[in-house]
């Protein structure tokens, strides 16, 4: 559809790659916030009947939650833990970027073989591959990064990917479903923030590799 939607999707992919190539936690939070904010605008651009009040409200809620509330929460738990950057991830930060590109190429290939249900029309032919790539990128972050905070970020990226997918499949998802998902994510991040806070209080670090030694 609009090339503006395409531009947003491409920026989302770039942010994915930048996130994979960042080891420090503070910039990572900022990148995820930027991704959430820019995705909040996507439903406005792909809706067929133009931006109604409902969609506008939803966009404002998404932007406020993903762009303002989540970073605030995450910054707070970052301050309370003394982690500054990723130490010894499973896959190095520089090596993650080429792997992210492989995931991206794989998503393009997968999306080209995807059979959409009849009657569903995708707003832009970038939506499906970008959604898959973002989901895979989130999973990749959760698997390879060992700081608990980075895993929360991976969870958020994963949710962003599902959000893109939702935009692709249903031009106008029911308001209730959309707000319900937003609420779930909010509660999820809230709980994880508290968990990180408690972990760092008890252990002086948020390295998940060490958490297997919980038993005394």
Residues at the site binding another protein, with contacts judged by CB under 8 A: 6-7, 10, 13-14, 17, 21, 93-94, 97-98, 100-101, 104-105, 108, 125-126, 129
CB of 98 or CB of 180, closer to another protein:
98
Q: How far is the CB of 48 from another protein (least distance, A)?
A: 23
- Closer by beta carbon to another protein, 10 or else 57: 10
From the number of C-beta atoms within 10 Å of its C-beta (0-12, 13-18, 19+), residue 176 rates as exposed
Closest to another protein by CB, 7 vs 82, is 7
Q: What is the dihedral of CA 85, 86, 87, 93, to 10 degrees?
A: -120
* Closest to 166 measured CA to CA, from 200, 197, 120: 120
Nearest to another protein of 82, 125 (CB atom): 125
Contact 6, 33 (CB under 8 A): no
In whole angstroms, the minimum distance from the beta carbon of 178 to another protein comes to 28
Nearest to another protein of 52, 98 (CB atom):
98
CB of 7 to another protein, least distance (A): 7
Instruction: Provide the minimum distance between the beta carbon of 94 and another protein in the complex, in angstroms, as a whole number.
Output: 5
Whether residue 165 contacts residue 43, with contact meaning beta carbons closer than 8 Å, is answered with no
Instruction: Name the minimum Å distance from CB 70 to another protein.
Output: 26
> Minimal distance in Å, beta carbon 64 to another protein?
29
Q: Which is nearer to another protein, 44 or 97 (CB)?
A: 97
* Cβ 147 vs Cβ 23: under 8 Å: no
């Amino acid at each position: 559809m609009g090339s503006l939607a395409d531009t947003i999707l491409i920026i989302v992919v770039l942010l994915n790659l930048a996130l994979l190539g960042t080891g420090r936690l503070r910039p990572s939070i900022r990148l995820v916030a930027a991704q959430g904010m820019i995705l909040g605008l996507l439903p406005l651009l792909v809706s067929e009947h133009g931006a109604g009040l409902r969609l506008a409200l939803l966009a404002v809620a998404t932007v406020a939650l993903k762009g303002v509330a989540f970073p605030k929460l995450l910054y707070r738990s970052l301050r309370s833990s003394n982690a500054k950057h990723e130490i010894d991830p499973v896959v190095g930060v520089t090596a993650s970027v080429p792997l992210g590109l492989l995931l991206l190429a794989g998503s393009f290939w997968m999306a080209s073989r995807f059979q959409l249900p009849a009657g569903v029309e995708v707003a832009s032919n970038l939506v499906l591959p970008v959604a898959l790539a973002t989901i895979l990128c989130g999973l990749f972050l959760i698997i390879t990064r060992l700081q608990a905070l980075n895993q929360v970020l991976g969870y958020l990226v994963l949710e962003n990917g599902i959000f893109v997918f939702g935009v692709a499949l249903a031009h106008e998802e029911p308001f209730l479903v959309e707000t319900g998902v937003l609420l779930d994510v909010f509660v999820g991040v809230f709980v994880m923030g508290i968990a990180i806070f408690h972990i760092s209080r008890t252990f002086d670090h948020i390295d998940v590799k060490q958490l297997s030694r919980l038993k005394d």
